[in-house]
Amino acid sequence: MPDLTVPLRLGLTGGIGSGKSTVAAIWREAGHRVIDLDAHSRAVLDVPGDGVEEAVARFGEEFRAAGGTIDRAAMARLVFTDAAARADLERIVLSRVDEAVAREEREAARAGSGSSSTTARCCWRRAVTLITARSWWCSPAGRTASPA
Q: Give the model confidence (pLDDT) of 89-142 as tens digits.
A: 999 999 998 898 888 888 877 777 655 555 554 444 444 434 434 444 445 554
- What pLDDT is recorded for position 6? 58
pTM of the model: 0.70
- What pLDDT is recorded for position 131? 40
- 94 with 126: CB under 8 angstroms? yes
Query: Long-range contacts made by residues 81-89, C-beta under 8 angstroms, separation at least 24?
Result: 85/59, 88/58, 88/59, 89/55, 89/58, 89/59
- What pLDDT is recorded for position 123? 46
Residue 33 or residue 143, greater confidence: 33
- 126 with 37: CB under 8 angstroms? yes
- What pLDDT is recorded for position 115? 54
Distances (CA, A) of 12 to 72, 75, 87, 99, 104: 25, 27, 24, 19, 17
Q: What is the spatial distance between Cα 104 and Cα 90, in angstroms, rounded to a whole number?
A: 21
Mean pLDDT score, 6-35: 78
- 92 with 44: CB under 8 angstroms? yes
- What pLDDT is recorded for position 76? 94
